[in-house]
Amino acid sequence: MVAFSFPASSLAAATPDPATSIRAAAAAARQIALPLLEQRIAATQATQLEFISALLTLFALLGLLLLFAPFILAFKHRGTFLRTLGTSLIAALLFVVTVELFAGLLIALREFQNSVGSFLHPQAAIAASFIDAIDENAATLASRGHALLAPLKAIALAGADPTPSLLLDNVARIRADYAVFSTVARVLEAVYNLSALAPLALVLLLLVFFFIGVRPVLATIITMPRDAALGGTRIARTALRHVVSTFLKEVLATLLFAIFFFFVVFAAAFFMQLAIRPAVSAFLDAFILSITYLDTIGGASEGAILVGLLGTSAFLALAFVTVLVAAFLFLWRVQSLFRRRLHAREPLSQNARFWLWGPLGTLWLMAIPGLIASAHATWLAPALLKISPTNRDPSFALLLVANALLLLIPFVVLFWLSRGFPVLRFLAGARRRSP
């Protein structure tokens, strides 16, 4: 985080050692608000997984309706009741077991989330990074006016999420004539709320992959009683062998895919963490510069403030999207290859190019936001912000815009130079139709 040395603010409150008070507020947020946030995240994730598991269980119980198939078929095909009764029992059992298999996988995922705590959740990373940035820049923030941070401790003690939008809301109340702060606060709050959907999106992705693979199996199971009624015992036994064989292959494909899923989710969380901390620091740099701009220059440009604050928020959103899209496409391809191997007996070596370059390309795409954000915090921002604006050199607007562009432009350039879109097409393309 960059340390600033700007002139004292006219907003500064007459309180003894305000920097110490700000550090105390950050410590209170770290000790009280952050654990409460982590508890809410854990409870929310548990509720979401339990809800999905309950829906799957209800869907699995629909398989018991197959027990009524012999009675329905007996009206259309006389003399088939006893023949279809045993097949219907087996079909109902297979339907329930097939769907409950995935419900068990969700339980394993919940235990995995409990074991790693809030590491997999970007909201916790944003809140922790924000608190650390406040602590590291306490002296600078104190020089900009302790009134800006006064509500932080009370909000932290009340259990609200410690997010960067708190600072913007405080400034919006103090400087109501600058609506830009309220605008950016709402955008940043939306990014924060959308980040909460990242773990759920990956779980729903796993759910979609499972039903893509198991749909043919369930369709065959449902038609087993009818096939038994129309074709007799031999056809029923053939259909049963096919269903059991396909079911076992899907179980193996799901287990293999789950291993990759856990590794990819962990990698996605790691690279999100890598990008979030310096991105939040860049936002705080822009915030401090904006407050100094308002305090020093009479007619501060709302457009420059908007670009400076919104640019860093947009980079945070880009980081989430890049990591999630790379993870999604890689997992989609892996699921397809495993199913083709088990059903069509296609050797994995036939896709050796993907197994070599696919993981490397995925990890590289995930790493790009973190590399850019770290480089910005380590080299670019310090070099830029060595230019300390004064009343005789009102270059605040230029610094605000440059601070944001030094995040966004290097990201676009590096993504383009490293052939980011061809990598995405490679992960998603050349995928044969699954059986």
- What whole-number distance in Å separates Cα of residue 15 and Cα of residue 263? 50
331 in Cβ contact with 260 (< 8 Å) = yes
Q: Per residue in 259-298, pLDDT tens?
A: 888 888 889 888 988 999 899 988 888 888 888 888 887 7
79 in a domain, yes or no?
yes
Q: For the segment 148-192, what is each residue's pLDDT rounded down to a tens digit?
A: 565 565 555 555 677 888 778 878 877 777 888 889 988 888 888
Q: Model confidence over 217-229: pLDDT tens digits?
A: 788 788 888 877 7
Which long-range CB contacts under 8 A does 44-48 form with residues at least 24 apart? Answer: 44/196, 45/110, 45/113, 45/121, 45/199, 45/200, 46/110, 48/200, 48/203
Given a contact cutoff of 8 angstroms between Cβ atoms, the answer to whether 327 and 421 are in contact is: no
- What are the tens digits of pLDDT across the range 381-394? 887 766 655 544 45
Whether 16 is covered by a domain: the verdict is no
Output the pLDDT for position 4: 39
Provide the domain count of the chain.
Answer: 1
Range in 41-45, 91-95, 119-123, 323-327 with the lowest mean pLDDT: 119-123
Side chain identity at 356, as an amino acid letter? L
Whether 301 is covered by a domain: the verdict is yes
Q: Report yes or no on 1 lying in a domain.
A: no
Whether residue 435 is contained in a domain is answered as no
Contact present, 434 and 339 (Cβ < 8 Å): yes
The pLDDT tens digits for 332-342 are: 888 888 878 87
108 lies in which domain range? 23-428
Q: Specify the pLDDT at position 116.
A: 62
- Contact between residue 394 and residue 350 where contact means Cβ atoms under 8 Å apart: no
Is the pTM higher than 0.85? The answer reads no
Q: Is residue 73 part of a domain?
A: yes
Q: Is residue 12 part of a domain?
A: no
In a domain, 163, yes or no: yes
